[in-house]
Homo-oligomer: A and B are copies of this chain.
Amino acid sequence: MESIPSVIPGWFSEMSPMWPGEAHSLKIEKVLYQEKSEYQSVLVFQSSTYGKVLVLDGVIQLTERDECAYQEMISHLPLCSIQNPRKVLVIGGGDGGVLREVSRYPSMEQIDICEIDKMVVDVSKQFFPALAIGFEDPRVNLHIGDGTAFLKSVTEGTYDAIIVDSSDPIGPAQELFKKPFFESVGRALRPGGVVCTQAESIWLHMHIIEDIVNVCRQIFKGSINYAWTTVPTYPSGVMGFMLCSTEGPFVDFQRPVYNIEENTENFGNSKGPPRFYNSEIHSAAFCLPSFAKRVLQPEIN
């Protein structure tokens, strides 16, 4: 077992060239798992105040305390924006948290997931049962493999929605931020189908976001929107989402057409109502600070 990348004894410190000059640290109660997979280093520790924490290549992917914000928003922003989603593909998301949320929809028939790193799935099943519960839904089909290759094998127009729950564009996820990937996503979606991809922080990565928006504008001929939410343990405390729809029935991402809170059958495997998401916070997520609006929505300024 190699040593924890920590500069404070007994603490995990998250440092990266993607956010130079700052570090977020969590106190470690106990290291539960630490291995190198074929693709990345995988660390699980019990923190003193954020529950169990999953770290990939030195970057916090989730903590039990605040995972609800990310998992619920990346899932329900796209899925509550369309009527009766039936077929969904999740790229990445090997922890199962997005599956847990996707399985709330009674209309759902088929939930495919393509995760590149089997170790993430295994570690989640061992240490994060509240997330891995997503795998227990009988509609879920797990594929271990490369997301870009998987997409190429998909019949055109298969999915109502594709959710890209990737890590940062450094490491195994880098292809998931490039044009060929988005082209494959577009082909795999039905007309008026939607994609939601994690899209970094407006405070830290405006240039990455601009690039993603520009690529998406070339490929998706329906709606293009950027949303964001609060996730305390992500750098700068926010995480953004790129939401696009293909040519076809119009999708108004800012006005959800489905209310997930309305009846208890939607609570599904997660055994309770969403902890973070609701229809108002859905719409609010598309309101950008002026500095971001001027860059991303120049046409309406």
Q: Are A24 and B26 in contact (CB under 8 A)?
A: no
Copies of the polypeptide in the assembly:
2
Q: How far is the CA of A169 from the CA of B75 in the complex (A)?
A: 37
Q: Nearest Cβ distance between residue A179 and chain B, in whole angstroms?
A: 29
Interface bits A54-78 vs B (CB < 8 Å: 1, else 0): 0000000000011011000000000
* Chain B residues, CB < 8 A from A230: 203, 228, 230, 236-238, 289
Q: Nearest Cβ distance between residue A216 and chain B, in whole angstroms?
A: 21
Chain A interfacial residues counted at CB < 8 A: 48
Q: Is A232 an interface residue (CB 8 A)?
A: yes
Q: How far is the CA of A20 from the CA of B50 in the complex (A)?
A: 10
Q: How far is the CA of A68 from the CA of B234 in the complex (A)?
A: 20
Q: Are B48 and A20 in contact (CB under 8 A)?
A: yes
Which among A90-98, A157-165, A181-189, A277-285 touches the partner chain?
A277-285
Q: Are B289 and A281 in contact (CB under 8 A)?
A: yes
Q: Are A21 and B13 in contact (CB under 8 A)?
A: no
Q: Are B27 and A24 in contact (CB under 8 A)?
A: no
Q: Quick one: which of A1-37 are within 8 Å of B by CB?
A: 7-8, 11, 13, 19-27
Q: Nearest Cβ distance between residue A226 and chain B, in whole angstroms?
A: 13
Q: Is A191 an interface residue (CB 8 A)?
A: no
